[in-house]
């Protein structure tokens, strides 16, 4: 073989090796892309499932009591039975303006109420048990352009920001029957205690430990928190008015309507 032929052979061999290596690189990139794509799909599925809660609603109301029948001095102003709420209309599932709660929570609430009463205050409830259909009403509202109550309930927020995890969620502890939204009323004056914001103000000022409120407002929030905690209730840090009984029996989700007649006569839906 002449030197020229030898050089030609070497070049062809080198080119073949280059082509082989390029093919291997292409195949490697394709396989890597497929692996990454499959990985992304798996992660997406995992995140979707981890962010959702499988709910099996219960319609049996036999474990619930009407709060005012058990503790007559407690006041109620069921906002979601009215149009005076952040949506601006009566909320699904509120058939009567009554506050109801699981039987497991009533004695703890009674003890807290007695303590407040001795100090010159009465509890006023804005919301207690909340059926799942009401929570769905909140979520459905997210998908329309209605903001008629913005000035009062979320003046510093865009509507979509209410669903960022700090304020409105896809599920609610209220549906488990042991959560209360409440305030205090001064027995002598009949006026609500000043806690720094109104109920359901979607703003950082509603955070229990917000630093922008006055010292007196901070003091009253801490007073409310202390008494409720001493009686078994835990505060939701983003809402100074929100308290949930720490009880292992408060772990099921209910979807029967807020209706005193149905509860009294044990009428299930």
Catalytic positions are: 239
CA-based end-to-end distance of the chain: 96
State the Cα–Cα distance between residues 175 and 226, nearest whole angstrom. Answer: 24
Q: Answer yes or no: are the C-beta atoms of 195 and 241 closer than 8 Å.
A: yes
Q: Answer yes or no: are the C-beta atoms of 160 and 42 closer than 8 Å.
A: no
Rounded to 10°, the helix 215-230/103-118 angle is: 130
* Residue of 264, 266, 269, 256 lying closest to 94 (CA atoms): 256
Q: Number of helices and strands (H, E) in the chain?
A: 7, 7
State the Cα–Cα distance between residues 143 and 66, nearest whole angstrom. Answer: 34
State the Cα–Cα distance between residues 178 and 173, nearest whole angstrom. Answer: 7
State the Cα–Cα distance between residues 117 and 147, nearest whole angstrom. Answer: 38
Q: Map residue 261 onto helix, strand or coil.
A: helix
Q: Answer yes or no: are the C-beta atoms of 125 and 74 closer than 8 Å.
A: yes
């Amino acid at each position: 073989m002449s030197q020229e032929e030898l050089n030609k052979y070497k070049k062809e061999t080198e080119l073949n090796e280059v082509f082989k290596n390029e093919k291997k690189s292409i195949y490697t990139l394709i396989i890597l892309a497929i692996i990454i794509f499959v990985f992304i799909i798996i992660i997406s599925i995992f995140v979707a499932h981890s962010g959702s809660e499988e709910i099996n609603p219960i319609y049996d109301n036999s474990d619930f009591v009407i709060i005012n029948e058990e503790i007559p001095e407690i006041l109620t102003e069921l906002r979601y039975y009215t149009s005076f709420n952040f949506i601006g209309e009566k909320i699904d599932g509120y058939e009567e303006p009554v506050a109801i709660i699981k039987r497991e929570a009533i004695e703890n609430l009674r003890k807290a109420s007695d303590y407040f009463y001795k100090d010159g205050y009465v509890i006023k409830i804005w919301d207690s048990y909340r059926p799942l259909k009401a929570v769905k009403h909140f979520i459905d509202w997210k998908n329309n352009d209605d903001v008629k109550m913005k000035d009062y309930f979320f003046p510093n927020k865009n509507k979509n920001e209410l669903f960022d995890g700090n304020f409105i969620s896809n599920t609610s502890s209220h549906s488990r029957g042991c959560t209360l939204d409440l305030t205090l009323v001064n027995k002598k004056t009949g006026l609500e205690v000043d806690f720094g914001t109104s109920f359901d103000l979607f703003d950082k000022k509603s955070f229990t430990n917000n630093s922008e409120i006055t010292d007196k407002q901070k003091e009253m929030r801490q007073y409310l928190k202390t008494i409720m905690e001493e009686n078994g209730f835990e505060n939701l840090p983003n809402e100074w008015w929100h308290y949930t009984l720490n009880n292992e029996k408060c772990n099921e989700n209910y979807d029967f309507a807020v209706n005193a007649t149905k509860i009294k006569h044990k009428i299930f839906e």
